Amino acid sequence: MRVAIIGGGPGGLYAAALLKRLDPSREVTVWERNAPDDTFGFGVVLSDETLGGIEHADRTVFEAMQKHFVRWDDIDIVHRGTRHTSGGHGFAALGRKRLLEILHTRCRDLGVDLRFRSEAPYPEWLAETYDLVIAADGVRSSTREAYAQAFRPHLTSHHCRYIWLAADFAFDAFRFEIAETEHGVMQLHGYPYAPDASTVIVEMHEDVWRVAGFEDADETESVERCAKIFAEALGGRPLRSNKSAWTTFRTVTNEHWSHGNIVLLGDAAHTAHFSIGSGTKLAVEDALALAACMREQPSLDKALAAYEEERRPVVASTQRAARASLEWFENLGLYLDQPPRQFAFNLLTRSRRVTHDNLRLRDADFTGAVEREFGCPPGTPPMFTPFRLRGLTLRNRVVVSPMDMYSAVDGVPGDFHLVHLGARALGGAGLVMTEMVCVSEEGRITPGCTGLYTGRQAESWKRITDFVHAQSPGTAIGVQLGHSGRKGSTKLMWEGMDEPLPDGNWPLVAASALPYKPGSQTPRELTRAQLTDIREQFTSAAWRAARAGFDLLELHCAHGYLLSGFLSPLTNHRTDAYGGSPEKRLRFPLEVFDAVRGVWPEERPMTVRISATDWAEGGNSAEDAVRIARAFAAHGADAIDVSTGQVVAEEQPEFGRSYQTPYADRIRHTVGVPVIAVGAISSWDDVNSLILAGRTDLCALARPHLYDPHWTLHAAAEQGYDGPGVVWPDPYRAGSRRPRTGRMDAPKPRLTLGT
C-alpha cells in the first residue's frame, strides 16, 4: 500500500509512524511545506489517557517523550489580586518542537519518506497515484477546501482574539490570570512545557483588542505590551514570540471525514478550543484510531468508515466541552464580580467536564472552601440548600420540570395526574411543576391536555395540591399556564407529535396566520378583541389556580405556543401595535403577565418560561433572550425559566449535556434575575456544579424524573446527605439506603493459605 500524508504536524507524523510500524511493506510519504525545525506555538499538553494510548501503540515514541515531560498537578486562578489554587489535576507537557523531533526520528528509523520544504502535490493527483491520502494539513486545510462539496465543512469564527507566546521560565502550575484594564478584561493562559520555559496565551474579546490598539500593533509591540499587562504573573520577565500573530479561533466540523481514498485527520477534520488543550491530543488520537482501523478492517472503505464511526462521537463530545469553555471566556466579564473562590470554581468547571464531584475528589479542601463561601452547612451538597422566591422558600434547588402527560379527559386531571405528581412530590424535589395547563378548550395542544377553564378542573387540581401539601409537607407545587396557539389540535405525543388530528379538529389562533409546519392547520391571526378575550382567559385560569392551592405560577412563553409566537420574529408578522419591533412583539405577553400578576396572590411567586433561542436563522438569539428576560423581570417576574427552541419546525438545535444552561447563566448575570436552568441536566453532580458555580439558582429535570420519581431522595442517599434539604416520607424511610444486591456485597471467602 502507498500512503500519502499531507502535513507534517504531530497527527500526520504519528499516523505515518504507526502505519509504517504496523506494516513495514507500506510506502509512506509525508509532505511538509515548512522546514524540520519550524514550529508555530510552543508547548503541547497531553492527557494521561492519550499518553497511555501512545505507550500501548508505540513504546519507542512514548519513552522518548517521557524523557522530556514536565508534570504538574495544580491550577492557579488569579483574579483581583487573589490567587486560588486547586490541586490534583495531573498534566504532562513537552515542547512542540521536541515532540516533532521525536516523531521525525521515529519516522526516519521506520523508513518513512519525509519531504520538508515541499508543497504536497494536488490531492487529485495524490488520490490517483496513492492508495490512501491522509489530509493532516490543519485548520486551513487546502485538501478539505478542494473537496468541500464532499466533506461539507462548516467553519465558525468566534469573538476573541488571542496570541501564542512563550516565557523563559517555568510556571509552577497551570495559570489563569485575569487583568481588568482601562480597555476591558484580558486573560492569560500559561503552563510550563520545559524546566525553563512556559507557553503563554493572551486572549481578549475582539472589542477589547480593538479598543486597546492591538489591531494596529506589530508583533514586537504586541509582545512587549502583553508582558507589561501581565508583569506580575511573569515576575517582570519578558515574553518572546515565534512568528506570533493575533488570530481568532475557528471551530471546524465536517459532515463527512472521507471521500474516496482521501481522509481528514486532526484540525483538518475538527478543531477544539485551546482552553481545554485538545488540539494535539485529538490529532494523535485520530492517528491511533486510523492506524488501528486500517489493521482491523478487511478493506480501505470499511477502515475509513470505522475510523469515522469510532472518532466522531468522541470528537463531538470534546467539541461541545471546548465550545462551552470558549464561550465562558468570551463572556468572562459576566463573572468578574463573583467572589474570587466561586469565580475560580466557575472557571474550573466551565467546560462541564470537570464537575463538583470530581473536583472534590481532586481537591477536597478547595471545594469545601467554595461550599462554605456559598453558604452550604457542613455536609450539605449545594443542591440541598434552600432558595427563596418572594414569600415561598424552597427547601432545595431541584424542580420537577413541566411534562405534558396527554392523559386528561375534557381537561380534567384524574387519578393518573394525582399519582404522577404525587409520586414526584414524595420523591423529594423542592418544587413540582404541572404540565402546561391550558386556559381554554381551544388552547389545548391535544384532546388529552389538562385545563383550568372550568370549576370541575379546578376542583380536581385542588385534590392534587391538597395531597402534595398533606403527604409531602415542605414540597411546593406550581402550575404552568399556557395556550397552544398554532401548535394545537394535534394527536397525543405517542400517536404522532405535532401531527394534526385525523378528525374532530378545533380552529386555531396565533399571532400570525402561519402554520407550524407543512400539513399543519393554518391558524387565524388574532384580532384586538380576541387578544382581550385570551388575556381574560389567562386571568380566570390564574384565579382558579390560586383557589386550587398552587404555590407558584409560571407563564408559558416558550416552545412556539401562543405567547412565544408573539415573541419570535419568525412567527410574528403582524403590522399592528403587537408586531414588528422587539418591544412591540413583547407587548401582548407582557399584558398577559401583568393581568395574571394582578390576580395572583401577592406573596406567591410568578415565573416565566422563555425560549432563549429559536435555533433558526432570523429568529430570537441569546441577546434577544436577555432583552425579553429583562422586560419580564421589570414587570415583576420572580424568576426566568430558561428553555430553548421548539418555536419553528425547521430549527437546528445543538444538543448535548446541559446544552441550554449557558442561556440561563447569561440571563442570570446580565439581568440579575433568578433563573431556572433546564435541558439535559441528568445527574446530581451536574446540579451541584451549576448551582455552586453560580450559573443558575434552580435546576429543572424532566426525563430523570420519569425514569425515577424519587430522583432527589436517591441523590441525597448517594451523597450521604440527611438533613432539612430533603425529607424521606416516614413510610419510605427504610428505603433511604441502597439495598444490598446479593453475594457480591458479602465478604469474600478465604481460598488460599497465607505464607
Sheet of 91-95: strand order equals 43-46, 91-95, 70-72
Residues near 278 by beta carbon (within 8 Å), at least 6 away in sequence: 272, 318, 322
Classify burial at 75, counting beta carbons within 10 Å of its beta carbon; exposed 0-12, middle 13-18, buried 19 or more.
Answer: buried
Continuous H helices in 635-733: 661-671, 684-692, 703-707, 711-718
Count of residues making up the chain? 755
Query: Do 611 and 556 touch, CB atoms closer than 8 A?
Result: no
Rounded to 5°, the CA angle 581-584-588 comes to: 150
Query: Do 717 and 733 touch, CB atoms closer than 8 A?
Result: no
Residues near 125 by beta carbon (within 8 Å), at least 6 away in sequence: none
d(C-alpha 9, C-alpha 32), whole Å: 8
Phi (first) and psi of residue 90, to 5 degrees:
75, 95
Classify burial at 352, counting beta carbons within 10 Å of its beta carbon; exposed 0-12, middle 13-18, buried 19 or more.
Answer: buried
d(C-alpha 545, C-alpha 561), whole Å: 20
d(C-alpha 542, C-alpha 596), whole Å: 6
Residues near 590 by beta carbon (within 8 Å), at least 6 away in sequence: 631, 632, 635
Alpha carbons within 13 angstroms on the beta-carbon side of residue 58 total 26
Catalytic residue among 561, 578, 659, 663: 561
| Closest to 553 (Cα-Cα) out of 567, 543, 563, 565 | 543
Query: Do 516 and 532 touch, CB atoms closer than 8 A?
Result: no
561 noted as active-site residue = yes
Residue 231 CA to its chain's centroid (Å): 34
> Which residue numbers are catalytic?
561
